[in-house]
Protein backbone atom coordinates (compact mmCIF):
# COMPACT_ATOMS: atom_id res chain seq x y z
CA UNK A 1 0.00 0.00 0.00
CA UNK A 2 1.28 3.48 -0.89
CA UNK A 3 2.59 5.57 1.97
CA UNK A 4 0.59 8.78 2.63
CA UNK A 5 2.81 11.75 3.52
CA UNK A 6 1.95 15.36 4.34
CA UNK A 7 3.32 18.84 5.08
CA UNK A 8 6.75 20.20 4.17
CA UNK A 9 8.49 16.89 4.78
CA UNK A 10 5.91 15.17 2.57
CA UNK A 11 6.62 17.66 -0.22
CA UNK A 12 10.33 16.95 0.18
CA UNK A 13 9.75 13.16 0.07
CA UNK A 14 7.70 13.29 -3.12
CA UNK A 15 10.19 15.63 -4.82
CA UNK A 16 13.00 13.18 -3.97
CA UNK A 17 10.89 10.35 -5.41
CA UNK A 18 10.19 12.34 -8.60
CA UNK A 19 13.94 12.98 -8.96
CA UNK A 20 14.55 9.22 -8.74
CA UNK A 21 12.07 8.73 -11.58
CA UNK A 22 9.15 7.45 -9.48
CA UNK A 23 5.53 8.33 -10.07
CA UNK A 24 3.68 9.74 -7.05
CA UNK A 25 0.17 10.81 -6.06
CA UNK A 26 -0.20 14.55 -5.51
CA UNK A 27 -3.07 16.90 -4.66
CA UNK A 28 -4.59 19.55 -6.89
CA UNK A 29 -7.73 21.59 -6.28
CA UNK A 30 -9.67 19.52 -8.85
CA UNK A 31 -8.71 15.85 -8.32
CA UNK A 32 -5.52 14.07 -7.24
CA UNK A 33 -2.94 13.55 -9.96
CA UNK A 34 -0.45 10.77 -10.70
CA UNK A 35 2.70 12.80 -11.24
CA UNK A 36 6.00 12.23 -13.05
CA UNK A 37 8.90 14.57 -13.86
CA UNK A 38 8.28 15.75 -17.43
CA UNK A 39 12.01 15.40 -18.23
CA UNK A 40 12.01 11.65 -17.51
CA UNK A 41 10.47 9.56 -20.31
CA UNK A 42 10.68 6.29 -18.39
CA UNK A 43 8.69 7.89 -15.58
CA UNK A 44 6.14 9.23 -18.09
CA UNK A 45 5.78 5.73 -19.53
CA UNK A 46 5.23 4.38 -16.03
CA UNK A 47 2.17 6.69 -15.65
CA UNK A 48 0.55 4.90 -18.60
CA UNK A 49 1.35 1.45 -17.25
CA UNK A 50 0.19 2.19 -13.68
CA UNK A 51 -3.08 3.70 -14.93
CA UNK A 52 -3.61 1.09 -17.64
CA UNK A 53 -4.09 3.99 -20.05
CA UNK A 54 -3.49 3.79 -23.83
CA UNK A 55 -0.26 5.61 -24.71
CA UNK A 56 -2.08 7.73 -27.32
CA UNK A 57 -4.04 9.57 -24.58
CA UNK A 58 -2.00 12.68 -23.75
CA UNK A 59 -1.19 13.89 -20.23
CA UNK A 60 -1.72 17.36 -18.74
CA UNK A 61 1.50 19.17 -17.81
CA UNK A 62 1.32 21.01 -14.47
CA UNK A 63 3.43 24.14 -14.02
CA UNK A 64 4.09 26.67 -11.26
CA UNK A 65 4.60 29.91 -13.24
CA UNK A 66 4.12 31.52 -16.65
CA UNK A 67 7.81 31.10 -17.56
CA UNK A 68 7.23 27.36 -17.65
CA UNK A 69 4.28 27.90 -20.04
CA UNK A 70 6.51 29.87 -22.41
CA UNK A 71 9.13 27.15 -22.23
CA UNK A 72 6.65 24.37 -23.10
CA UNK A 73 4.52 26.17 -25.67
CA UNK A 74 5.04 28.13 -28.88
CA UNK A 75 2.81 30.82 -30.37
CA UNK A 76 0.45 31.26 -27.40
CA UNK A 77 -2.14 33.81 -28.59
CA UNK A 78 -2.88 37.08 -26.76
CA UNK A 79 -6.47 35.91 -26.14
CA UNK A 80 -5.20 32.69 -24.55
CA UNK A 81 -2.75 34.62 -22.35
CA UNK A 82 -5.48 37.04 -21.28
CA UNK A 83 -7.68 34.10 -20.25
CA UNK A 84 -4.83 32.51 -18.30
CA UNK A 85 -3.96 35.80 -16.53
CA UNK A 86 -7.48 35.74 -15.11
CA UNK A 87 -8.01 32.02 -14.46
CA UNK A 88 -4.57 30.84 -13.30
CA UNK A 89 -3.71 29.49 -10.85
CA UNK A 90 -6.88 27.45 -11.15
CA UNK A 91 -8.92 24.63 -12.70
CA UNK A 92 -8.32 25.52 -16.35
CA UNK A 93 -6.18 23.59 -18.86
CA UNK A 94 -5.25 24.94 -22.28
CA UNK A 95 -4.08 22.92 -25.28
CA UNK A 96 -1.40 24.86 -27.18
CA UNK A 97 1.36 24.11 -29.72
CA UNK A 98 4.17 22.17 -28.05
CA UNK A 99 7.79 23.30 -28.18
CA UNK A 100 10.00 20.72 -29.95
CA UNK A 101 11.70 19.60 -26.70
CA UNK A 102 8.41 18.56 -25.03
CA UNK A 103 8.35 14.77 -24.78
CA UNK A 104 5.97 13.20 -27.30
CA UNK A 105 5.39 10.46 -24.73
CA UNK A 106 3.63 13.15 -22.69
CA UNK A 107 1.61 14.50 -25.64
CA UNK A 108 0.57 11.07 -26.90
CA UNK A 109 2.56 11.71 -30.07
CA UNK A 110 0.90 15.07 -30.81
CA UNK A 111 2.49 18.42 -31.51
CA UNK A 112 0.15 20.07 -29.01
CA UNK A 113 0.46 20.03 -25.23
CA UNK A 114 -2.11 20.51 -22.46
CA UNK A 115 -0.89 22.85 -19.69
CA UNK A 116 -2.33 23.83 -16.32
CA UNK A 117 -1.15 25.96 -13.38
CA UNK A 118 -2.96 24.42 -10.39
CA UNK A 119 -4.09 26.52 -7.42
CA UNK A 120 -3.31 23.93 -4.73
CA UNK A 121 -0.33 25.27 -2.70
CA UNK A 122 1.22 21.81 -2.25
CA UNK A 123 1.06 21.14 -6.00
CA UNK A 124 2.87 24.42 -6.61
CA UNK A 125 5.47 23.61 -3.92
CA UNK A 126 6.24 20.24 -5.50
CA UNK A 127 6.74 21.75 -8.97
CA UNK A 128 8.88 24.62 -7.62
CA UNK A 129 11.07 22.39 -5.46
CA UNK A 130 11.53 19.93 -8.34
CA UNK A 131 12.38 22.85 -10.63
CA UNK A 132 10.44 21.36 -13.54
CA UNK A 133 6.84 20.74 -14.60
CA UNK A 134 5.15 17.45 -13.78
CA UNK A 135 2.87 15.52 -16.11
CA UNK A 136 -0.17 14.21 -14.26
CA UNK A 137 -3.42 12.55 -15.26
CA UNK A 138 -6.02 11.86 -12.59
CA UNK A 139 -4.64 9.24 -10.16
CA UNK A 140 -7.17 6.49 -10.84
CA UNK A 141 -7.14 3.35 -12.96
CA UNK A 142 -8.15 4.03 -16.55
CA UNK A 143 -11.92 4.62 -16.90
CA UNK A 144 -12.63 4.50 -13.19
CA UNK A 145 -13.78 7.14 -10.70
CA UNK A 146 -11.31 10.01 -10.14
CA UNK A 147 -9.77 10.42 -6.66
CA UNK A 148 -10.53 13.44 -4.46
CA UNK A 149 -8.58 12.37 -1.36
CA UNK A 150 -5.16 10.85 -0.66
CA UNK A 151 -6.86 7.72 0.64
CA UNK A 152 -8.75 7.27 -2.65
CA UNK A 153 -5.39 7.27 -4.46
CA UNK A 154 -3.77 4.84 -2.04
CA UNK A 155 -6.80 2.52 -2.24
CA UNK A 156 -6.89 2.60 -6.05
CA UNK A 157 -3.23 2.36 -6.95
CA UNK A 158 -2.14 0.35 -3.94
CA UNK A 159 1.25 -1.20 -4.38
CA UNK A 160 1.91 0.32 -7.80
CA UNK A 161 3.06 3.60 -6.28
CA UNK A 162 5.11 4.29 -3.15
CA UNK A 163 3.95 7.78 -2.08
CA UNK A 164 0.86 9.97 -2.01
CA UNK A 165 1.11 13.58 -0.82
CA UNK A 166 -1.95 14.40 1.29
CA UNK A 167 -3.37 17.85 0.54
CA UNK A 168 -6.79 17.24 2.07
CA UNK A 169 -10.06 16.78 0.19
CA UNK A 170 -10.14 18.49 -3.23
CA UNK A 171 -11.99 21.81 -3.12
CA UNK A 172 -13.40 21.64 -6.67
CA UNK A 173 -13.96 17.91 -7.09
CA UNK A 174 -14.26 17.70 -10.91
CA UNK A 175 -11.40 17.82 -13.42
CA UNK A 176 -10.28 21.11 -14.96
CA UNK A 177 -12.07 22.75 -17.87
CA UNK A 178 -10.02 22.16 -21.04
CA UNK A 179 -9.90 24.71 -23.87
CA UNK A 180 -8.14 23.80 -27.10
CA UNK A 181 -6.32 26.81 -28.56
CA UNK A 182 -4.69 24.76 -31.33
CA UNK A 183 -7.87 25.25 -33.41
CA UNK A 184 -9.74 28.39 -34.55
CA UNK A 185 -11.94 29.34 -32.87
CA UNK A 186 -10.77 27.74 -29.61
CA UNK A 187 -12.98 24.94 -28.42
CA UNK A 188 -14.05 23.54 -25.04
CA UNK A 189 -12.90 19.91 -24.91
CA UNK A 190 -14.04 19.20 -21.35
CA UNK A 191 -16.42 21.29 -19.21
CA UNK A 192 -15.30 22.08 -15.66
CA UNK A 193 -15.88 24.53 -12.85
CA UNK A 194 -14.68 27.47 -14.93
CA UNK A 195 -17.70 27.60 -17.20
CA UNK A 196 -18.02 28.13 -20.95
CA UNK A 197 -19.97 31.33 -20.21
CA UNK A 198 -17.07 32.74 -18.16
CA UNK A 199 -14.46 31.72 -20.74
CA UNK A 200 -16.53 33.11 -23.62
CA UNK A 201 -16.95 36.45 -21.81
CA UNK A 202 -13.18 36.83 -21.32
CA UNK A 203 -12.29 35.79 -24.88
CA UNK A 204 -14.89 38.11 -26.39
CA UNK A 205 -12.90 41.12 -25.12
CA UNK A 206 -10.16 39.94 -27.49
CA UNK A 207 -12.47 39.40 -30.45
CA UNK A 208 -12.18 35.63 -30.06
CA UNK A 209 -15.11 33.19 -30.21
CA UNK A 210 -15.44 29.94 -28.29
CA UNK A 211 -16.80 26.72 -29.73
CA UNK A 212 -18.54 24.22 -27.46
CA UNK A 213 -19.39 21.77 -30.22
CA UNK A 214 -16.61 19.23 -29.77
CA UNK A 215 -17.67 15.62 -29.89
CA UNK A 216 -14.47 14.18 -31.18
CA UNK A 217 -12.74 11.37 -29.37
CA UNK A 218 -9.96 11.93 -31.88
CA UNK A 219 -9.77 15.63 -30.97
CA UNK A 220 -9.82 14.89 -27.24
CA UNK A 221 -8.36 11.45 -26.83
CA UNK A 222 -9.30 9.76 -23.60
CA UNK A 223 -12.79 11.20 -23.56
CA UNK A 224 -14.64 8.06 -24.47
CA UNK A 225 -18.26 7.50 -23.56
CA UNK A 226 -17.74 5.39 -20.46
CA UNK A 227 -15.40 7.05 -18.01
CA UNK A 228 -15.44 8.16 -14.36
CA UNK A 229 -17.45 4.97 -13.81
CA UNK A 230 -18.27 3.10 -10.61
CA UNK A 231 -19.26 -0.59 -10.71
CA UNK A 232 -22.79 0.42 -9.71
CA UNK A 233 -25.25 0.99 -12.57
CA UNK A 234 -26.50 4.59 -12.59
CA UNK A 235 -29.92 5.55 -13.93
CA UNK A 236 -30.12 9.25 -14.85
CA UNK A 237 -33.16 11.47 -14.28
CA UNK A 238 -33.85 15.13 -14.98
CA UNK A 239 -34.80 17.28 -11.98
CA UNK A 240 -38.58 17.24 -11.61
CA UNK A 241 -39.05 13.85 -13.33
CA UNK A 242 -41.00 11.29 -11.28
CA UNK A 243 -38.52 8.96 -9.56
CA UNK A 244 -39.05 5.21 -9.40
CA UNK A 245 -39.82 3.79 -5.98
CA UNK A 246 -37.76 0.63 -6.20
CA UNK A 247 -35.69 0.88 -3.03
CA UNK A 248 -32.52 1.86 -4.90
CA UNK A 249 -30.72 4.92 -3.47
CA UNK A 250 -31.37 8.31 -5.05
CA UNK A 251 -28.38 10.65 -5.43
CA UNK A 252 -29.31 14.28 -6.08
CA UNK A 253 -26.88 16.55 -7.89
CA UNK A 254 -29.41 19.24 -8.80
CA UNK A 255 -29.00 21.68 -5.91
CA UNK A 256 -25.93 23.47 -4.52
CA UNK A 257 -23.78 22.59 -7.50
CA UNK A 258 -20.48 23.57 -5.86
CA UNK A 259 -21.06 20.97 -3.14
CA UNK A 260 -22.45 18.50 -5.66
CA UNK A 261 -19.18 18.73 -7.62
CA UNK A 262 -16.99 18.57 -4.52
CA UNK A 263 -18.63 15.33 -3.34
CA UNK A 264 -19.42 13.76 -6.72
CA UNK A 265 -16.66 11.14 -6.87
CA UNK A 266 -16.81 10.37 -3.16
CA UNK A 267 -20.51 9.55 -3.50
CA UNK A 268 -19.90 7.32 -6.53
CA UNK A 269 -17.13 5.51 -4.64
CA UNK A 270 -19.43 5.02 -1.67
CA UNK A 271 -21.88 3.06 -3.84
CA UNK A 272 -19.16 0.54 -4.63
CA UNK A 273 -17.90 0.42 -1.04
CA UNK A 274 -21.43 -0.48 0.02
CA UNK A 275 -21.82 -2.99 -2.86
CA UNK A 276 -24.87 -1.16 -4.21
CA UNK A 277 -25.69 -2.48 -7.71
CA UNK A 278 -27.98 0.33 -8.90
CA UNK A 279 -28.67 3.96 -7.97
CA UNK A 280 -30.84 6.75 -9.36
CA UNK A 281 -29.15 10.04 -10.12
CA UNK A 282 -30.93 13.40 -10.38
CA UNK A 283 -29.04 15.66 -12.82
CA UNK A 284 -28.62 19.43 -12.52
CA UNK A 285 -29.95 21.63 -15.32
CA UNK A 286 -27.46 22.22 -18.16
CA UNK A 287 -26.00 25.59 -17.27
CA UNK A 288 -22.81 26.76 -15.57
CA UNK A 289 -21.25 24.03 -13.43
CA UNK A 290 -24.25 21.86 -14.32
CA UNK A 291 -22.56 21.06 -17.66
CA UNK A 292 -19.52 19.53 -15.95
CA UNK A 293 -21.66 17.47 -13.59
CA UNK A 294 -23.88 16.22 -16.42
CA UNK A 295 -20.80 15.33 -18.48
CA UNK A 296 -19.20 13.25 -15.69
CA UNK A 297 -22.48 11.62 -14.60
CA UNK A 298 -23.50 10.65 -18.13
CA UNK A 299 -20.07 9.09 -18.70
CA UNK A 300 -20.27 7.32 -15.34
CA UNK A 301 -23.68 5.92 -16.37
CA UNK A 302 -22.81 4.88 -19.94
CA UNK A 303 -23.05 1.17 -20.76
CA UNK A 304 -19.90 -0.88 -21.24
Contact between 33 and ligand TXA per CB under 6 A = yes
Which of 94, 285, 115, 264 is CA-nearest to residue 194?
94
Query: How far apart (Å, rounded) are the C-alpha atoms in residues 93 and 107?
Result: 14
d(CA 276, CA 271): 5
Among Mg ion, ligand TXA, none, partner that 149 touches (CB below 5 to 8 angstroms by kind): none
Of 14-22, 30-38, 245-253, 284-292, the segment contacting ligand TXA by CB under 6 A is 30-38
Is 139:163 a contact under the CB 8 Å cutoff? no
Say whether residue 289 binds ligand TXA (CB under 6 A).
Answer: no
The distance of Cα 170 from the centroid of its chain, to the nearest Å, equals: 11
175 sits near ligand TXA (criterion: CB under 6 A): yes
By CB under 6 A, tell whether 58 contacts ligand TXA: yes
Q: What is the contact mask toward ligand TXA in residues 130 to 149, using x (rule: CB under 6 A)? A: ------xxx-----------
Q: Which DSSP symbol is given to 301?
A: H
Stretch that binds Mg ion, among 43-51, 103-111, 136-144, 252-260 (CB under 5 A): 136-144
Beta carbon nearer to ligand TXA, 116 or 294: 116
* CB closer to Mg ion, 221 vs 288: 221
Pick between residue 107 and residue 208 the one whose CB is nearest to Mg ion.
107
Q: Which is nearer to ligand TXA, 91 or 290 (CB)?
A: 91
Question: Which listed option, Mg ion, ligand TXA, none, makes contact with residue 208 (CB within 5 to 8 Å by class)?
Answer: none
Beta carbons of 36 and 136 less than 8 angstroms apart: yes
- Residue 189 binds to ligand TXA (criterion: CB under 6 A): yes
Name which of residues 200 to 239 contact ligand TXA (CB under 6 A).
220-223
The reply to whether 30 sits near Mg ion by the rule CB under 5 A is no
- Listing DSSP states for 229-283 in one string gives B-SSEEEEEETTSPPP-SS--EEE-SS-HHHHHHHHHHHHHHHHHTT--EEEEEE
Residues 6+ apart with CB under 8 A from 166: 4, 5, 6, 10, 27, 150
Instruction: Please tell me whether residue 165 adopts helix, strand or coil conformation.
Output: strand
Number of C-beta neighbours around residue 142 at 10 A: 16
User: Which entry of Mg ion, ligand TXA, none binds 40, CB below 5 to 8 A by partner kind?
Assistant: none
Q: Which of 28, 30, 40, 138 binds Mg ion (CB under 5 A)?
A: 138
Residue 39 binding target from Mg ion, ligand TXA, none, CB below 5 to 8 Å by type: none
Query: Binding residue for ligand TXA (CB under 6 A) from 164, 178, 229, 261?
Result: 178
The Cβ of residue 80 has, within 10 Å, a number of other Cβ atoms equal to 21
**Which helix (DSSP H) or strand (DSSP E) does residue 61 occupy?**
strand 60-62
**Cβ of residue 32: shortest distance to ligand TXA, in angstroms?**
7
d(CA 261, CA 172): 7
Contact residues for Mg ion, defined by CB under 5 A: 138
Contact residues for ligand TXA, defined by CB under 6 A: 28, 30-31, 33, 57-60, 91, 93, 95, 107, 110, 112-114, 116, 136-138, 175-176, 178, 180, 189, 220-223
Amino acid sequence: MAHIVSGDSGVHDVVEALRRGDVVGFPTETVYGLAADIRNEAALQRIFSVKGRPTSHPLIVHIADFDQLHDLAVGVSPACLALLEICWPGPLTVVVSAAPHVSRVCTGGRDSVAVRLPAHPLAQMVIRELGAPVAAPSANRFGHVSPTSALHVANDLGDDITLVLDGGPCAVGVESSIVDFSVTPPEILRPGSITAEEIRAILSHHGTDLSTSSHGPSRAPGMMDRHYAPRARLVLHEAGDPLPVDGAPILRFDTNLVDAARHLYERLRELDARHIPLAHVVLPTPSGLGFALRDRLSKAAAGL
